[in-house]
Amino acid sequence: MSLDDRPGGTVGPVPWCEACNRYLTPPTLEEDGTCPDCGTVLAEPEERHKVPWHFWVMVLAVTLYLGWRVVQGILWVLGKL
Ligand SMILES: [Zn+2]
């Protein structure tokens, strides 16, 4: 199986620009993942900048956990009064 068989097309480890007929390294691409010379979209911009969804799940879990610990702490203090 070659990289071109993957869903999403020809986006591989090294972006290849068909129009310019050359390889481009990811840092040379524009911020939005396009070729700096011809503007062809070579990389998915969200893959370069987006935070993975499981990060937000972890943030939510930690927030809920710490919130629950605060509630427990308040209840503990109230119980000591
Ligand atoms: Zn190009």
pLDDT tens digits, the chain, 81 residues: what are they? 555 555 555 545 678 899 999 988 888 888 888 999 999 988 776 555 677 889 999 999 999 999 999 999 999 999 998
Q: How many domains does the chain have?
A: 2
Q: How far is the CA of 41 from the centre of ligand 1 (A)?
A: 9
**In a shared domain, residues 28 and 66:** no
DSSP annotation string for the chain: --GGGSTTSS--SS-EETTTTEE--GGGS-TTSB-TTT--B-S-HHHHHPPPHHHHHHHHHHHHHHHHHHHHHHHHHHHH-
**In a shared domain, residues 23 and 40:** yes
Which residues constitute the domain of residue 6?
1-45
**In a shared domain, residues 30 and 58:** no
Q: Which residues surround ligand 1, an ion (CB under 5 A)?
A: 17, 19-20, 35, 37-38, 40
Give the per-residue pLDDT at 47. 55
**In a shared domain, residues 1 and 40:** yes
Amino acid letter, residue 22: R
Q: How far is the CA of 26 from the centre of ligand 1 (A)?
A: 13
Output the pTM of the full model.
0.39
